[in-house]
A = this chain, B = another copy of it.
Amino acid sequence: MSNDNSCLISKLSHYVDLDVQSRDSLARLEAEEEDYDRACEIYGADMEGQFLYVVKHGWLYSYIDLPDGRRQIVKIHHPGDIIGFQDIAYHQTTTAVRAAEACVLCPFPKKGLTTVFSDCPQLAALLFAVALRDHTVLVDTIRAIGRMSAMEKIAHMLLDLQARLRITNTSMTDTMRLPLNQSEIGDFVGLTNVYVSRTLMRMEEMGLISRDGINVTIKRENDLARMADFTDRYRKLDTSWFPDSES
């Protein structure tokens, strides 16, 4: 089983050197592959969720609808992410997941994690730490949505996405592909698509960013970081409390 090209493994390896057993356990999760079209709903909310998914290609997002049609996007999933991990403490899914573009997923049963937890304490600790990291990221998002202006919210979102992509792609430039339309951006930061458009225009006029089709360039990262009071939560984790890994 070759696991050299697994984004999941390379993403997790950013934090600790995984032992062979851990790498094998992870590779097993990526045994199956499935293709999904853009805008396809992978699963809905409040479903019996027996499956998790490793993202192989493409972006997706988790969201929750309100009864009247309003929608909140909660997390954007990139290659190497595990979708559904947050829901393992519940019998049913708490969010729905949709493909932001055509993508490839590796589904695996919820039970597949049991062996990880029992056989690979180091990996279990890492997955735990990543879950806590995602919690902190969510806290930063709450702060942005609850207390920031439209432009600050969008600045925060762009910097957050960039920081995440930098984990696996260390040679990243200041330009990234952003396969989300403005309604989706709005649903993520709590604005309407119209106001997202106006705000992006304004940011472009101010020279903070530039856009070219699906690509966004962050031109004045420091200024954006200052206005969003941004902290990179992805780069480093405290792994000192992990079991038996001195690496």
When the two chains form their complex, are residues B229 and A66 in contact, meaning their CB atoms are under 8 A apart?
yes
Closest chain B CB from A167 CB (angstroms): 15
- From DSSP, what is the main secondary structure of chain A's interface residues? helix
A243 contacts which chain B residues (CB < 8 A)? 117-118
Q: A133 near B: Cβ within 8 Å? A: yes
Per-position binary interface string of chain A over residues 52-64, scored 1 when its CB falls under 8 Å from any chain B CB and 0 otherwise = 0000000000001
CA distance A118 to B124 in the complex (A): 12
Name A177-205 residues within 8 Å CB distance of B: 189-190
Contact present for B138 and A138 (CB under 8 Å): yes
Contact status A88-B241, CB under 8 Å: yes
Q: Tell whether, in the assembled complex, residue A134 and residue B135 are in contact, meaning their CB atoms are under 8 Å apart.
A: yes
Interface window among A16-24, A28-36, A108-116: A108-116
Q: Does A148 contact B (CB under 8 A)?
A: yes
For residue A169, CB closer than 8 A to chain B, the reply is no
Q: Which of A69-77, A99-107, A158-166, A213-221 forms part of the interface with chain B?
A: A69-77
Nearest CB of chain B from residue A143's CB, rounded to whole Å: 4
Mark interface residues in A115-150 (1 if CB within 8 Å of B CB, else 0).
001100000010011111111101111110111100
Count the copies.
2
Q: Complex formed: what's the CA distance from A229 to B229 in Å? A: 32
A238's nearest neighbour on chain B, judged by CB, is B91
Determine how close the nearest CB of chain B comes to the CB of A44; give it in whole angstroms. 14
Are B229's CB and A71's CB within 8 A?
Answer: no
User: What 20 new A-B contacts, CB under 8 Å, besides A64-B139, A146-B190?
Assistant: A66-B229, A67-B229, A74-B139, A74-B142, A86-B136, A86-B139, A88-B238, A89-B128, A89-B136, A110-B241, A111-B241, A114-B241, A117-B125, A128-B128, A134-B135, A142-B142, A142-B145, A145-B145, A145-B146, A147-B190
The 10 A-B residue pairs with the shortest CB-CB distance in the complex, in nearest-first order = A146-B190, A89-B132, A72-B143, A89-B129, A70-B147, A145-B146, A91-B238, A72-B147, A72-B146, A94-B136
23 pairs, A vs B, C-beta closer than 8 Å = A64-B143, A66-B148, A70-B147, A70-B148, A72-B143, A72-B146, A74-B139, A86-B135, A86-B139, A87-B136, A89-B136, A90-B237, A111-B241, A113-B241, A117-B125, A117-B241, A117-B243, A128-B128, A135-B138, A138-B138, A138-B139, A141-B142, A145-B190
